[in-house]
Amino acid sequence: MSVLLPNMADFDTIYELEEEDEEEQDEPEPVVRSQELPRPRDAPDPVAVAPEEFKTSISRVNACLRKNLPVNVKWLLCGCLCCCCTLGCSLWPVVCLNKRTRRSIQKLLEWENNRLYHKLGLHWKLSKRKCETSNMMEYVILIEFLPKYPIFRPD
């Protein structure tokens, strides 16, 4: 009797293989089977992304932020200093620059999705979330699974 683990998805399950020489078996040995936890039907299959690809994607987003944030901070400081004299109008360039930075990151994520992640069944997007520690809002990269379309079922 030999034991075989077929793949990593069934790692906890031990299967019994019948050998060609049944004459050698004197007494059958008990087969140990582990309890398999039921997997939700709508849970997507695990996706493997190369660490280099993930690192490259995150590096592109960081490079975009590294390029735009120093300019935004300078305009913010200048706008805060002149805020009283301009009745708040000096903060408009900061608002426009932040919107431009957000759009450039969204375009970058869309390019990454079309290049790689949609083929893997993933979708990256920029999402606005409330901070856990305060009432402020922040932008985070949200990674979602794309639904699989049943191509074998008729319309």
When pLDDT is averaged across residues 43-47 and rounded to a whole number, the result is 64
pLDDT digits (tens, 9 = 90+) for 103-131: 999 999 999 999 999 988 899 999 999 98
For the entire predicted model, the pTM comes to 0.62
Q: Where are the domains of the chain?
A: 70-131
Alpha-carbon gap, residue 125 to 113, rounded angstroms: 9
Tokens of 14: 């031990």
Between CA 23 and CA 123 the distance in angstroms is: 56
